[in-house]
Amino acid sequence: MGKWLQSTETLTFQVAERVARITLNRPDKRNALTPQALTELNDALLEADDRTDVHAIVLAGAGRDFCAGYDLAGAYAGQGAGDAPVYRSANGTIDDDCWQLEQTQKKTLAMFDIHKPVIAQVQGNCLAGGTDLALMCDMVVAAENARIGFPAARANGTPPQNMFVYHVGPQWAKRLLMTGDWISGRDAARIGLVMDAVPADELEAAVSELARRVALVDAELLAAHKRVVNLSLELAGARTMQRLSAEMDARAHLSRGPRRSQFRADMAEHGLKTALKNRDEPFGDGQVRLGSERKSV
């Protein structure tokens, strides 16, 4: 395969004209994230960052969706079912939970840490863990009808990797997280959550042209540009905030409120479909609407 990338069961990896295209490739599962998918994504990013024929990277999702989040069926399966005593539990203690979340962060922070720029190409659902990926990229271009948000905030926890406030400021970060509502790609561009939004049938062409233009610049210069901006974010606390986000998510997992308790019970007794239905149904379609769009519905 390559120096870093040893398997591609959950993604595809292609390089052409100084651009590496990494495509999450579980379309039947809406590109939901599993431990294997995260490992392969991390390895693919390192592969692209190390290759001298790559100047820029595109992160995309196959099929209708960019990424609908973490694989909750896998995450909730077998909780408390007797992990080997020499290893930490999944979330038996707040410290174990933090530790597990931090191991995931080491992979999902790769977009931020590598030297080469990463452009997210977002269509369809970009929810929960999908935002963990997209908002760590250097630029995000979305389809106008994309659905971007963190509905898990309604009953599951707070984002374990949180860049919302750095993109949209405190009020919009609170608006999105305190309701778990989603926002369209078009409106996400209006509030600064993504850089730009285009019609869905023009998305790949728009991202490819942006990546082509970025990749015309020498890789060393691109690294300098990326790192000086990211160092500014670090000085504003963005990197420390990720550690704190993991701890806040672990704390949120300990919630025993009715909505959190109901979700856990539904998962145990009825499965994911029922748990999501009961979690989200009181919120209606869950879409944030701005200005004239709000008045027209």
Average pLDDT, integer, range 245-273:
93
| Percent of the residues in the chain that have a pLDDT greater than 90, as a whole number | 88
pLDDT of residue 78: 46
| Percent of the residues in the chain that have a pLDDT greater than 70, as a whole number | 94
pLDDT of residue 294: 63
245 — pLDDT class (breaks 50, 70, 90) = very high
Strand partners, 140: 120
Average pLDDT, integer, range 39-53:
98
For 28, the token pair is 């039947």
- Least confident range from 20-29, 75-84, 261-270: namely 75-84
pLDDT of residue 79: 45
Coil, helix or strand for 157? coil
Average pLDDT, integer, range 144-164:
96
CB contact set of 2 (below 8 Å; sequence gap of 6+) = 13, 47, 51
d(CA 167, CA 100): 26
pLDDT of residue 285: 96
Single-letter amino acid code for the residue at 261: S
pLDDT of residue 80: 43
d(CA 220, CA 266): 51
Closest alpha carbon to 252 in 134, 97, 148? 97
d(CA 51, CA 31): 26
Note whether 160 and 132 are within 8 A (CB). Answer: yes
- Least confident range from 42-51, 208-217, 235-244, 250-259: namely 250-259
- What's the burial of 27, exposed, middle or buried (CB within 10 Å: 0-12/13-18/19+)? middle
